[in-house]
Amino acid sequence: MPLLPSVALQDGVVRHDDTLADGRDLFYYDDHGSSLTAERASDARTLDPRPATASMRHDPLTGEWISIASARQNRVFLPPADLDPLAPASATNPSEVPDRYDVAVFENRSPSFGPATVTDVDTHGDAEPGIGSSRPSVGRCEVVCFSPEHEGSLGSQAPERLRTVVEAWADRTAALSEVPGVEQVFAFENRGEAIGVTLRHPHGQIYAYPYVTPRTQRLVASVEKHGPGLFEDILAFELASERVIVRGEHWSAYVPFAARWPLELHVMPHRHVADLAETDSAERAELAELLPRVLQGIDAIYGDPTPYIAAWHQAPVNHHRDIRLTLQITSPRRAPERLKYLAGSESAMGAFIGDVLPETQAAAWKEAVR
């Protein structure tokens, strides 16, 4: 087995760099005190060539770019545990990760963005988009495996493992922010089949977009209207409310005043940091302790696993650094057997209608966390 190049990160986490059989990058992140070594098996598979980079089409009605990534139709759909593509490879399961791991990150086999970057293709970056405009979907999509186990989620991991996950998020945010043409980095976890998850293995993803996303563009406009202290003022307002779920030394979790979803929680650092890469060791350590509390709490509200999206909102790479890093956890679950569907008003007009009073869901979440 080859001895992989290794990099020491914060708090004893170690990264080992490898390459899969088709040329995709693979990174192993070992827990502090892990029994694993830098010796790892190579990817022995014979793989088809990687799909061509998808294309983006410009919507002249909204000004948004839509990535048309048809290769995603070939994704594995809810495989049995013995064919889990995110488990460590075995003689009967030649998976995406060739050897044992604590946390693993690799390039997505069917990406929405990439693998090409702006240095590889002509992106027509100087052209003014209009009717019929298209460009290559340059960028990067990565899979983050939180654990080698077949089932679970972010919230089911021990704080020690979550510390490694946080380090991987921060490390990949810094690296992807340096990729030519990347404008924004987005780390997230989709949890539950009701959200659209196709693999039960505990994992998340990281997208590196070639543009600033529509949600963040609206956020930029809000900061410009209010001033650079928007997030400081929001945090002060929320911390004075009854909607605070957890208040730590470095982070606070609260149900926002204008929550859109039946279950919605924001986790914000007390210090202004624009992205995960800017957090320090103490902030990362406390985050690893806070995450299982709130994520296990969302399951305790109804007594069984709740589908959710955990989304890290980070500032664009090169500008608008007045945006503060925030984790937004949302669930469409509005009752034990009921989900909120984005129907006419939300889907067609983007006009949300809340089903649950934010103070009511905050009380339920606080009781669940206790």
Q: ∠198-204-208 over CA atoms, to 5°?
A: 110
Pick the closest to residue 28 from 190, 39, 310, 115 (CA basis).
39
Q: Which of 190, 187, 214 is nearest to 314 (CA)?
A: 187
Q: Tokens in use for 266? A: 């924001």
> What backbone phi and psi angles, to 5 degrees, belong to 288?
-65, -25
Q: Cβ distance 190 to 329 under 8 Å?
A: no
Distance CA 222, CA 49 (A): 44
Q: What CA–CA distance (Å, rounded) separates 247 from 12?
A: 26
Secondary structure tally for the chain: helices H, strands E:
6, 17
Is 250 designated active site? no
- Going by the DSSP 8-state scheme, the letter that residue 324 receives in this structure is P
Residue ranges of alpha helices (H) inside 303-357 are 349
Q: Which of 203, 266, 313, 320 is catalytic?
A: 203
E strands along the chain, which residues?
Answer: 6-8, 14-19, 25-30, 55-59, 64-68, 103-107, 134-136, 140-145, 184-191, 203-209, 244-247, 251-254, 263-269, 308-313, 326-331, 333-335, 338-339
Q: Are 165 and 290 in contact (CB under 8 A)?
A: no
Q: Which residue type, as a one-letter code, is found at position 66?
A: I
- Catalytic residue IDs: 203
